[in-house]
Structure 1
Amino acid sequence: ATVDPGARKRLKLLEIHRALNADPVDVEALRRAAVSEGGLLTNEIRRKVWPKLLNVNVYNLPPKPGKAVRTNHKDYNQVLMDVKRSLSRFPQGMRVDQRVALQQQLIDVILYVLKGNPQLHYYQGYHDIAVTFLLVMGPRMAAALLQILSTHHLRDFMDNTMENTKHILNYLMAILEQVKPELHEFIQRAEVGTIFALSWLITWYGHVLSEFCHTVRLYDFFLASHPLMAIYFAAVVVLHREEAVLRCDCDMPSVHQLLSQIPQALPYQALIQRAEELFSRYPPSQLAKQPALQHHKSIAVSSFQGFQLSRCLQRPDRVLRSEQWESAGAQCQPTSSPGASQLVRMAV
């Protein structure tokens, strides 16, 4: 019998509620919810679950980033230019003054993370990830989550050279070679390389998807997954377009033009499931034995096991809240309520 979608949604909400209130938090159940159909359903739920997926205590956040982070910062001008160009990432119909205020917050969130982590190097596209967190979480939580993400999942993209990023892009062709040798051989003959997938990977698709709901659906998936899952997803997008690719002229301009224009109406859940299947069948450890991947190591992959273990020991919010009240007294203001900021509530 078919399950009523409303009943399925209510069941998922109940499972998420139970997982959040378990002690320790049931991160594996939250991970399953983020990956399964519909992802985390609403931005209100994301505000509760995303911090748990990144092991962030929302009752012990750093102060809201202020304009002081801009002083003498080497990346300020580049960040400013990128944020000015990011109009399409804000909801249509938003008042100009609201958007400008959010853009100012976005600059401060990015510079806050960079200033606190001098080993990280800003890259164009980082702002696409930062704005997604700002719109869902508000500036204070966005800064905390972005800091963890930048030192883990995104760490390879924030090195002082592109070598680590190129290394991760090489996994794309390695996956295609395993799954569809004919498609892999065609793309190789066209000498198209993997540059078409660069903006997909380093922005977690935020730069190339026009619908915010699709972007956050993928963020649910990537936050719940291994750091290389975004490149497995790139592989399934290419596999999904196999027929169109093979109908192309086998030359670099034709194939590159086709692949670089990602379709908006993708079957997201089917692609997510296939990416998970390919990850299980061809794990990074197996692909890493291939000659193109042998002589390099991903920083994010190296630290992922420790990160996974640390997030399994989180206390539920009711415990974190009472601990904060005990240490700070009755003046404590829970940072997770009322969700995000007034601007963000209006935006999403």
Structure 2
Amino acid sequence: MTRARQLHAGFHSSRSSSHSSPGGGGGGSLRHRRPKTKDSLDKEKRIRRLDEAIVTGNIEELRKLSVTGPGFVTDGIRRRAWPLLLRTHVPRRQTTVDTSVPHKDGDQVRLDVIRSFTHLSSETKSQQVYKKQKQEELLHVILDVLQRHPKLSYYQGFHDVCTCLIIVLGKEAATLAAETLAMFFFRDCMLENLEPVLEQLSLMTALLKLEDPEVQEFLDRSETLPFFPLSWVITWCAHDLQDFDKIARLYDFLICFNPLMSVYMAAAVVMSRREELLEVECDNAMVHTFLTKFPKNVDVELIISHAHQLYTTYPPETLQKRSENWLDENSCVNTFSQPRMYLYDSSDEKISSTPIDFTPIDELLNKPRIKREKDASALSKYPSNSLHLYRRNMATMLAFSAASVGTAALLLLNSAMFREWLANSGLR
């Protein structure tokens, strides 16, 4: 089912009713009910396990179920599981929000909101009203996050994330969930420039060298830098996939783990295409163009399984050590399990019944980035001629990205933040 169909009038009721009963049956006599298959029995068992994990706040069980099979199965279950995992099931702390001062990125947010939900029909007055309502909800969700945490910067792609939350959770729950995702998972994307998230992506080079050196050797020969999955990482593929069921399935998984899991996922996608990739002409522009096209027929379960295996084998700390490329000490990757910045009770990983205190992260946002002593820039590990070629071919690659990834990705890459990062990195 495509996002357009799901967002059509009444998407919540239609998706909920289609999954309202574990057995898939409604009323009617036993004589007309179909016999249960192995798949339907497995689904019933999974739903019972999910229900028990949600009731008991068992994070580890939810993690296990997010890695296997259909994840959290239905939007109805997601509306219970996601708030628990993001700890928005309890009222948030009361804070004073000054809405009188416009956020510095407010104009860009409004432009992106106007361009959102364009797939919804607006032929009739009721359809126009519905589309306008969804856009207003999206604007509210994004601005709420930015007004509560003024140190955060908006990036083009965060509106795709918030759109997914609205589809599954509805406006009120999505507003709370977006704040948690911004502060705990996407914080590196929401700083004054994109360098922190690009440094995350540089760790994919180390992953490929460890797991599939032939693929990485091919990328090295074509002088392809690891920044092509940018939109995958900053939107969790919400911008790149049209099948919303696949997007929601990925969100089930990514919400359960360290923010760097999206980079493991990107590496798994690249390795899943190794045969096709190695047949591409070993040319920078050709390889970059091929890789930016997220595979529409991707086997999500295979990608999730492989990403989890990579994460288990090379956890974030280990991967940074093996690559000798340390992210900032205050990166969301490195603070994710620290005291006072952990989503769960660290003693047994149970759901906490207290609201999230965002104060430690707000304080962190006011501090300068902290690099480990003697650490070199991630970019210094790439050959200078590769960086020069990347700069020279930037215009061509952006054009290909616009055709294959979409307008939002092109706008992001052309954003002031990205241009600033290029200038500071010596790529321009």
| Fold shared per TM-score above 0.5 | yes
Q: What secondary structure does 1:87 align onto?
A: coil
Shift in CA distance, 257/88, structure 1 to aligned 2, threshold 3 Å: farther
> Which among 327, 345, 349 is matched to residue 310 of structure 1?
345
1:74 has 2:122 as partner? no
For the pair shown, the structure with the greater C-alpha radius of gyration is 2
What is the aligned-residue identity percentage? 32
1:185 has 2:217 as partner? yes
Deviates more, 1:258-267 or 1:90-99: 90-99
1:286 and 1:43 mapped to 2: Cα distance?
Answer: 35
1:91 and 1:223 mapped to 2: Cα distance?
Answer: 31
Runs of 5+ unmatched residues, structure 2: 1-36, 356-428
2:206 and 2:119 mapped to 1: Cα distance?
Answer: 32
Amino acid at match of 2:252: D
1:292 and 1:162 mapped to 2: Cα distance?
Answer: 21
Contact map agreement 1:190 1:251 (CA 8 A) in 2? yes
1:210 and 1:201 mapped to 2: Cα distance?
Answer: 16
Match of 1:20 in 2: 54
Q: Deviations over 1:259-315 (max 9, x none)?
A: 111111111111111111111112222221245613644621222114154373436
Q: Deviations over 1:314-343 (max 9, x none)?
A: 368xx99xxxxxxxxxxxxxxxxxxxxxxx
Contact map agreement 1:82 1:124 (CA 8 A) in 2? yes
Contact map agreement 1:69 1:108 (CA 8 A) in 2? no
Match of 1:168 in 2: 200
**What is the count of residue pairs matched by the alignment?**
311
1:195 and 1:91 mapped to 2: Cα distance?
Answer: 35
Displacement of 1:204 in angstroms is: 0.6
2:77 and 2:38 mapped to 1: Cα distance?
Answer: 21
Q: What secondary structure does 2:232 align onto?
A: helix
Q: Deviations over 1:23-67 (max 9, x none)?
A: xx1121122222221011111110100011112224x2589xx9x
1:289 has 2:321 as partner? yes
1:295 and 1:112 mapped to 2: Cα distance?
Answer: 28
2:323 and 2:255 mapped to 1: Cα distance?
Answer: 29
Shift in CA distance, 243/149, structure 1 to aligned 2, threshold 3 Å: same
Contact map agreement 2:165 2:174 (CA 8 A) in 1? yes
Match of 2:265 in 1: 233
Shift in CA distance, 4/78, structure 1 to aligned 2, threshold 3 Å: same
Contact map agreement 2:87 2:343 (CA 8 A) in 1? no
Amino acid at match of 1:310: D
2:208 and 2:49 mapped to 1: Cα distance?
Answer: 36
Contact map agreement 1:155 1:300 (CA 8 A) in 2? yes
> Which among 97, 102, 105 is matched to residue 137 of structure 2?
105
Contact map agreement 1:75 1:122 (CA 8 A) in 2? yes
Contact map agreement 1:168 1:298 (CA 8 A) in 2? no
2:76 and 2:275 mapped to 1: Cα distance?
Answer: 39
Match of 2:81 in 1: 49
Query: 5 Å matches for 1:23-172?
Result: 25-58=57-90, 60=91, 69=99, 72-87=102-117, 95-172=127-204
2:258 and 2:315 mapped to 1: Cα distance?
Answer: 10
1:92 and 1:229 mapped to 2: Cα distance?
Answer: 38
2:222 and 2:293 mapped to 1: Cα distance?
Answer: 17
Report which structure shows greater RCO (CA 8 Å, sep ≥6): 1
Shift in CA distance, 89/4, structure 1 to aligned 2, threshold 3 Å: farther
Q: What secondary structure does 1:293 align onto?
A: coil
1:61 and 1:283 mapped to 2: Cα distance?
Answer: 31
Shift in CA distance, 304/138, structure 1 to aligned 2, threshold 3 Å: same
Deviates more, 1:217-226 or 1:25-34: 25-34
Q: TM-score, normalised by structure 1?
A: 0.82
RMSD between aligned residues: 2.7
1:89 and 1:226 mapped to 2: Cα distance?
Answer: 32
Runs of 5+ unmatched residues, structure 1: 321-348
1:91 and 1:174 mapped to 2: Cα distance?
Answer: 45
Amino acid at match of 2:52: R
Amino acid at match of 2:351: Q
Q: TM-score, normalised by structure 2?
A: 0.68
Q: Going by fraction, where is helix more abundant, 1 or 2?
A: 1
1:248 and 1:150 mapped to 2: Cα distance?
Answer: 37
Contact map agreement 1:62 1:140 (CA 8 A) in 2? no
Amino acid at match of 2:200: I
Displacement of 1:122 in angstroms is: 0.8
1:233 and 1:92 mapped to 2: Cα distance?
Answer: 36
Contact map agreement 2:153 2:190 (CA 8 A) in 1? yes
Q: What secondary structure does 1:95 align onto?
A: helix
Amino acid at match of 1:172: M
